[in-house]
Chains A and B, each alone.
Chain A
Amino acid sequence: MSEMTENLDVFTVRTLTQKEYFAPGHRACQGCAEALALRLVLKALGRNVIIVAATGCMEIVSSPFPFTSWRVPWIHVAFENTAAVASGIEAALKALMRKGRLPYKKITTVAFAGDGGTADIGLQALSGALERGHDFVYICTDNEAYMNTGIQRSSTTPFGASTTTSPAGKVQMGQITWKKNMPAIAAAHNIPYVATACPSYPIDLVRKVKKAADIVGPAYVHILSVCPTGWRSFPENSIKLGRLAVESGIFPLYEIERGQYRLSINFPRLKPVKEYFRLQGRFRHLTDSMIEEIEKRVHQEYERLKEKAKQK
């Protein structure tokens, strides 16, 4: 399976487990791809996990008192210490197993955080945990703004996107900075595994998460999750938007295994980014010249990535 390249989601998705570890009935919005991503991630990880979840959409929707959607051990922590708590749990498990209080068993520690909890607030804890080399998986579900509190910009909001704290109007045209390249930051720590994934490509996502859990040492998976509420798009377009983001080169799917880049899906012809922007209200104000500028940058970065992967 390691050599697999293209998306294979025709019948293959049916061979995934039918067990739901992220229970239905949670309070995510219609068309929330982040909840879908979480469901797939938990299917991939199975039963022997401990989840550390930062504050964010997925914490709010899954655990309104007195309910919970989690059928696996789960702990909620603050924004800034997700990776720190995960590393603590990993160290505790190791110690308990060494002292014979727990039988030797593969228990995966997984930290979940949104883009704000990863790229802005939790960055130093994440950096520390990656550098110390704890055996855990860090999963960032990136919906490109603080959607939970009312669509405030974060450092992963793409250039030109209109949010409530980077509104489009007479003074500025939405977000004025480019998206922070989180996978590259994680890869710069020389960790064994970094990957990007998208729930529109379920088998690819499941495979990457499984790989991340199997690898000894820290692993970082960055998942683009479409947010219809914050992106001002129709809920039925969530999967399509995920595919368009990948096919237009805005969010290329790749993995970095021990420093070796590999594109999971390589499109010889990228779709125009306009098609991706057209379906979202947050890019409505962009002029053609701005879209051209963004497209130029997207293509430039895609070429750079291809060069790193040595793929044509």
Chain B
Amino acid sequence: MISFVIDGQPVEGKEGGNILEAALDAGFDIPNLCYNESVKPYGACRLCLVEIIRKGKRMMTTACNYPVTEGIEVFTQTEKVLQARRMMVELILAMCPGDKLIQDMAKGMGVHEVRFKKEEKDCILCGLCARVCDEVVGAHAIQFSDRGDKREMGAPFGEEAMDCIACGACVVVCPVDVIRMEEKEDERTIIRWKRTLKKKKCKICGNYFAPWFQLEKFREYTKLPKDFFDTCYTCRK
């Protein structure tokens, strides 16, 4: 365990961990949007900014991708940090003025009006969906495209995401809930990635239980017998 100080309170973090994780564990309140334990930290939303004193040097950094280091001092509530966070949340709010979560977050930080030109986006470009798709699912179906203010998250060329297995991991992790899924009896659609997959019918009970394409991928990957996914999870002996 590595010991360091957050806001004057001694804290311990595990080796290879990051400051945000240790701080949240110790009960400090640091806002964040793009952080999820299951994937590598990315530092996209910039809301977890903190001030750090290391070897006498003072600097501002994101807590999610700064490793816990012996003897550093972290400040989470200084005026400089709060001001920077207010600016970040204002910029995000200008990008997606319609998101309820961002609105609440901004209000909580004291941002009541946006001074910048408002855009009509709904995605905050945190990249969490793509990272989960890469690191957890391994489907690599979606990724960022273009640069600067044209940056977008989506399937290649904005078409149907051909590698998507419709597992719904991105639906669950999205911090602003803009990835929607629609479930009919025999098909499942991830609306944002324009992906519709037919579902497989269980041979015994006759219910549709999972997308055909997804099950084929699993079977390929695990080298299971051909008829393994003929029955649903409950009917399987």
Contacts and interface: CB of A to CB of B under 8 A. Distances in A.
A3 interface: yes
A247 B204 CA distance: 13
B37 A4 contact: no
Contacts of B136: 11, 14-15
Interface in A233-251: 240, 243-244, 247
Given A4-B181, A15-B38, A271 B172 contact: no
B99 to A, nearest CB: 14
Contact of A247 (B27, B177, B185, B234): B234
B5 interface: no
Nearest to A247: B234
Contacts of B37: 17-19
B183 A203 contact: no
A15 B181 contact: no
B188 interface: yes
Interface stretch (B52-60, B145-153, B163-171): B163-171
A4 B181 CA distance: 6
Interface in B138-186: 167-169, 171-174, 177, 180-183, 185
A72 to B, nearest CB: 11
B137 interface: yes
A289 interface: no
Contacts of B172: 1, 4, 8, 12, 15, 203
Contacts of A47: 24-25, 27
B177 to A, nearest CB: 5
Given A1-B172, A105-B29, A240 B234 contact: yes
B207 interface: yes
Contact of A5 (B137, B183, B206): B183
Interface string A140-170: 0000000000000000000000000000000
A267 interface: yes
Given A6-B183, A14-B136, A15-B36, A269 B169 contact: no
10 contacts: A4-B183, A8-B172, A14-B38, A14-B136, A15-B132, A19-B25, A243-B233, A247-B205, A247-B207, A269-B205
B171 A10 contact: no
Contacts of A48: 27
A268 interface: yes
Interface residues of B, number: 31
Given A15-B172, A247-B205, 11 more contacts: A1-B171, A4-B172, A8-B171, A10-B210, A11-B136, A14-B169, A16-B38, A18-B37, A18-B38, A247-B207, A269-B207
Contacts of B29: 105
B234 A11 contact: no
Interface in A117-135: none
B214 interface: yes
A3 B191 CA distance: 12
A2 interface: yes
Nearest to A272: B205
B177 A2 contact: yes
A18 B14 CA distance: 14
A20 to B, nearest CB: 12
Nearest to A246: B234
Contacts of B25: 19, 47
A218 B169 CA distance: 30
A65 B14 CA distance: 29
B206 to A, nearest CB: 5
A5 to B, nearest CB: 4
A270 to B, nearest CB: 9
Contact of B168 (A4, A14, A17, A18): A4
A2 B183 CA distance: 13
A243 B137 CA distance: 24
Contacts of B207: 247, 267-269
Contact of A269 (B36, B188, B206): B206
Nearest to B186: A268
A8 B169 CA distance: 8
Nearest to B29: A105
A8 B168 contact: yes
Interface in B23-58: 24-25, 27, 29, 36-38
Given A8-B167, A15-B169, A3 B180 contact: yes
A5 B233 CA distance: 17
Listed residue (B37, B172, B181, B207) with the most chain A CB atoms within 10 angstroms of its CB: B172
A61 B70 CA distance: 39
A41 B41 CA distance: 25
A11 B221 CA distance: 14
B168 A271 contact: no
A217 to B, nearest CB: 17
6 closest residue pairs by CB, A with B: A8-B168, A5-B183, A11-B169, A243-B234, A12-B172, A11-B137
